[in-house]
């Protein structure tokens, strides 16, 4: 005996547009904001502190601690919540959809760039290491560019 589709959908954890899906989507978007806030705020603060070496060091020390304890965990949440959204979408979205697969890959690359370039650069700036600021700027620029690509994929959903 076949179960009517309406009854089947009542037992699914979530669907696109359902309360569970919307909650996950809101948490996903808030995590994006928390994870990428430093890309917007840090250059502004660093610019104001440019002539104050001690201020730059103290700011970089705090930024490094925040990256480790706030922004990287938020970036992890971005990916996990994105995977959860696909999982509860009742087959509307699949991990094999090109825009989802590419976004997941770019999320991993962003995490790698932040871990390998931005975080060590922030630590280096805090200790006065020469060239550390260029590492932070390059890593931040790469991560921001990749975020823009991911956002375009999420909005357009090609493929």
Q: Which pLDDT tens digit goes with each residue over 131-148? A: 888 898 899 899 999 999
For residues 151 and 89, what is the distance between their CA atoms, to the nearest angstrom? 19
Q: Which pLDDT tens digit goes with each residue over 13-63? A: 566 667 888 999 999 999 999 999 988 787 778 778 777 878 888 888 888
pTM score of the predicted model = 0.82
Residue 69 lies in a domain: yes
Other C-beta atoms lying within 10 Å of the C-beta of residue 7: 8
Residues 6+ apart with CB under 8 A from 136: 42, 117, 118, 121, 122, 125
Residue 101 lies in a domain: yes
For residues 50 and 43, what is the distance between their CA atoms, to the nearest angstrom? 10
Residue 6 lies in a domain: no
C-alpha 113: how far from chain center: 12
Residue 123 lies in a domain: yes
Residue 51 lies in a domain: yes
Q: What total of structural domains would you count in the chain?
A: 1
| Structural domain containing residue 83 | 15-156
Return the axis-axis angle of helices 72-87 and 19-48, rounded to nearest 10°: 160
Residue 7 lies in a domain: no
Contact yes or no for 92/21 (Cβ under 8 A): no
Residue 10 lies in a domain: no
Contact yes or no for 103/153 (Cβ under 8 A): yes
SS3 at position 42:
helix
Q: pLDDT value at position 146?
A: 96
């Amino acid at each position: 005996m076949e179960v009517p589709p309406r009854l089947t959908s009542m037992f699914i954890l979530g669907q696109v547009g359902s309360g569970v899906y919307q909650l996950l989507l809101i948490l996903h978007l808030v995590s994006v904001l928390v994870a990428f806030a430093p890309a917007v705020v840090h250059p502004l603060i660093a610019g104001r502190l440019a002539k104050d070496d001690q201020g730059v060091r103290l700011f970089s020390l705090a930024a490094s601690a925040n990256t480790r304890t706030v922004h990287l965990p938020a970036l992890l949440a971005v990916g996990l919540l994105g995977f959860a959204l696909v999982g509860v979408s009742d087959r509307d979205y699949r991990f094999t959809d090109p825009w989802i697969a590419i976004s997941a890959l770019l999320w991993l690359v962003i995490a790698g760039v932040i871990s390998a370039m931005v975080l060590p650069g922030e630590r280096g700036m805090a200790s006065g290491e020469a060239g550390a600021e260029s590492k932070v700027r390059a890593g931040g620029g790469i991560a921001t560019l990749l975020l823009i690509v991911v956002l375009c994929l999420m909005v357009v959903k090609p493929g």
